[in-house]
Amino acid sequence: MKILHLGFEDPRMPGAGGGSVRTYEINRRLAADGFQVTVLTTRYPGWQERVQDGVHYVPVGVGNGRNRLTRLAGYVFRLPFEVRRRRSDADLVVEDFFAPFSTMAAPLWTQRPTIGVVQWLHARDKARQYRLPLHWVERWGVRTHSRLIAVSQGVADKLIAMNPTVVVDVIGNGVDPAAWNPEPHLGQDILCIGRIEFTGKGLDLLIAAWARSESRVQGKLLIAGTGPDEAKLRAAIADADLTDRVELLGWLSGEAKFKALSAARLVVLPSRQETFGLVAIEALATGTPVIAFDIPCLREIVPVGAGQLVPAFDVDALGAAMVDQYGNTGSGVIATARQFTARFNWDHLARRQGAAYWSALSVESEVNDRLGQPPGR
């Protein structure tokens, strides 16, 4: 099968999110299994068209994509033209949903069988942030799809609420096998890893909770990642008089990330919304327990005995959980965490996603046969 994947973020782009990890891990396995995959991504400084692990990456946009706005605008403007150029050589188009409006309603203009992969579904929050009706665009776009892949049941439920006729396969994200390499041990510090988005990722809540609990915790709070709100985060840390108790580590990836996860006493995810929570799974794979808010998607991946879910956005409860869990770790937690994450295997997930692609193509062909139309028309 020849796949044209509208992948948005290039996995090599500095600061790329979990969506690009899935794009890379799934597609390289599909390529090894005989799929021909071309991924259209945004441009960014230093972008390069290339073939990596059997997958053809083509950055799309205008100029060098020096900031988020130019990357987004260039991608949205150029993408339909690039799809038109390449669609005759594609059996199936895969549309990744992306910020800030989720979907470009690709089934309406690709003229090929199209399936959506939904790792991002937060347009309502972006609508409040930018004071634009982005959630209306998201809702309309979801209704143009007949087949979708969601990374969690929580996302699937939201999609079906917007489009009751859509068929949704739930195929989660996997864990890099390298996460099992570091030897689990009881660390000193509490770690938070993710894109530095102050409110969306709940960093304001984390700083407030840490201010209430840091005097009862021996280690520091470590925050790893990059993003648009780093200056805002530094200001909040200074305002709370926590400069000596919080350390920013910058961007971590690969072996360095897994070593940091393994070395932490706890990993905390204070996000206000998530579509999966890959960092939580990676932390559990290294044997480190996780604290998160009890919200859809995250409650699916924080098992009893390997962390704690606290009432959503309750700062006092989050602070108390960090203190309680700090003294409640041991070999039993490590075993539970690692056993739970064994199911998040990229090889298995890639096979399931490939099967979903074949199923979507088969259904499209049957419909077109009945209508007497060529595929994608």
Percent helix, strand and coil across the chain, each rounded to 5?
45, 20, 40
Q: Indicate the CATH number of 177-341 among 3.40.190.80, 3.40.50.10490, 3.40.50.2000, 3.30.428.10.
A: 3.40.50.2000
Could you check whether the bond before residue 100 is cis, i.e. omega within 30 degrees of 0? yes
- Report residue 310: phi and psi, to 5°: -115, 155
Total residues belonging to the chain: 377
CA 111 to chain CA mean position, Å: 28
- The span from the CA of 236 to the CA of 233, in Å, is 5
* Domain range summary for the chain, segments of one domain joined by +: 2-174+346-371, 177-341
> How far is the C-alpha of 43 from the C-alpha of 12, rounded, in Å?
11
Those residues whose C-beta lies under 8 Å from the C-beta of residue 49, and which sit 6 or more positions away, are 56, 57, 58, 59
- Please state which CATH number belongs to domain 2-174+346-371: 3.40.50.2000
Contact 291, 325 (CB under 8 A): yes
What is the pTM assigned to this prediction?
0.83
What is the overall mean pLDDT for the chain?
A: 92
Backbone angles phi, psi at 60, to 5 degrees: -120, 135
* 355 C-beta neighbours (distance < 10 Å), count: 12
| Reported confidence tier of residue 377, pLDDT bands at 50, 70, 90 | very low
The per-residue pLDDT for range 89-133, each reduced to its tens digit, is 999 999 999 999 999 999 999 999 999 999 989 899 889 888 999
Q: Say yes or no: do domains 2-174+346-371 and 177-341 share a fold.
A: yes
